[in-house]
Amino acid sequence: MDFSERFPIWGKLTPSEQKMLLASVSLRTASKGTVVHKGNLDCSGLLLLTSGQLRAYILSDEGREITVYRLFEHDLCLFSASCIMRSIQFELFIEAEKDTEFWLIPPDIYHRLMEGSVAVANYTNEIMASRFSEVMWLMEQIMWKSMDKRLADFLLQESSIEGTARLQLTHETIANHLGTHREVVTRLLRYLQNEGLVTLSRGVVELKDEKALQRLS
Amino acid sequence: MDFSERFPIWGKLTPSEQKMLLASVSLRTASKGTVVHKGNLDCSGLLLLTSGQLRAYILSDEGREITVYRLFEHDLCLFSASCIMRSIQFELFIEAEKDTEFWLIPPDIYHRLMEGSVAVANYTNEIMASRFSEVMWLMEQIMWKSMDKRLADFLLQESSIEGTARLQLTHETIANHLGTHREVVTRLLRYLQNEGLVTLSRGVVELKDEKALQRLS
């Protein structure tokens, strides 16, 4: 699949817009663990994922993390081009959770398209509204849900993404997703193990009773 | 000041767009305490504030609240017209904190403008990015800041908005802004009173040492 088949509103662009975009995009890869965007000083461009997985997170002064959303194949990563809108005033970090391949759209080219094309501007609106909705969902989780429920929810989500009940995850990694301390995750996982919902071994959490996890979450 | 002087990108509209907009807007008022938007079932339109103050908040199943941002004179309230974008998938409530006057722009008219005008579409993008930035700021506060610091910050912000050190606020109201329980606010305010930073009387919090509050926040 080439870029024109990947870009969702390709058919709404004029031939000259299509030409400008095609001439500027490039296919890139980021290996697992690479931080592809480091806050607002960074403006590498928009990423249109063809495979792999990214996670967007925020970082505290003390190095704590919380995952705010994830991006998968077909998703467009807008905030890696935060310089295209002056009202984007927050520091987001984006990391490849798996080996990831993406089309890179340079920020100046996308900005020029947005300024000229009502289709691109409205598509950008929808992308931003989607991410906004994910962040608001997370806000509700953080505010109204206890950590054991959030952990159960996260484990079920991971299992669904990976297609397996045997998850290769350290307690530290889980803590960084959920924005808490490793010790809290360890304590809650042991509780879940005692209740027969999971079994723990080194670097692995295995789900044993998904229905009970669903009831908990 | 009439609508054309209030609407920030008036000059970027075509004469026919200006005519359509002017024919559809109406000047409305909401008295203090009125909930002007009740989640996604509601889609009254965009509000362009000419005076007063609104707060946007989320609500838990148990009736707990947290303020996510506020709107003042000249601000445009986008999410009271959440139906204009299908990707807006969260339940926001908006309440008049003071007697408020605003121009109401019907959602279908604004949607038609967005679909036809690149200026309106990009302006909407900037508005959404601003609110997104405010929500991300709040997320960082919730995640990395203790409640005493958030309370100090809130009191200083209120004092700046109201232009007085004598704030008419119940502990319940403060709790609903910060997304916590009244008892927590009462305990923290008493601590601040013991330290000489505020004095408390019925329905009033008076700031006594703004510099110390700033150091705390």
User: ipTM of the predicted structure?
Assistant: 0.92
A 193-212 residues with CB below 8 A of B?
none
A58 contacts chain B (CB < 8 A)? yes
Partner residue opposite A118 with nearest CB, options B116, B133, B137: B116
pLDDT for res B41 = 81
Domains of chain A: 3-143 (2.60.120.10), 145-216 (1.10.10.10)
Average pLDDT over residues B189-212: 96
A115 contacts B60? CB cut-off 8 A: no
Q: How far apart are CA A194 and CA B113, in angstroms?
A: 58
pLDDT for res A97 = 96
> How many residues are recorded in chain B?
217
* pLDDT (tens digit per residue) in A3-36: 999 999 999 999 999 999 999 999 999 999 999 9
Q: How far apart are CA A56 and CA A45, in angstroms?
A: 15
Token pair recorded at residue B105? 């722009």
Q: Look at residues A127, A135, A88 and name the one whose alpha carbon lies nearest to residue A105.
A: A127
What percent of chain B stands above pLDDT 90? Answer: 94
A130 contacts B90? CB cut-off 8 A: no
Strand-pairing partners, residue B29, are B101
A114 contacts B143? CB cut-off 8 A: no
Kindly report the nearest CA distance between residue B13 and chain A, in angstroms: 14
Average pLDDT over residues B127-147: 95
Kindly report the nearest CA distance between residue B132 and chain A, in angstroms: 6
pLDDT for res A127 = 96
pLDDT for res A213 = 96
Kindly report the nearest CA distance between residue A205 and chain B, in angstroms: 25
Which amino acid, residue B14? T
How confident is residue B15, by pLDDT bands cut at 50, 70 and 90?
A: very high
* pLDDT (tens digit per residue) in B178-199: 999 999 999 999 999 999 999 9
What percent of chain A stands above pLDDT 90? Answer: 94
Whether the pLDDT of residue B1 is over 90: the answer is: no
A142 contacts B142? CB cut-off 8 A: yes
Whether the pLDDT of residue A41 is over 90: the answer is: no
Whether the pLDDT of residue A1 is over 80: the answer is: no
Whether the pLDDT of residue B40 is over 90: the answer is: no
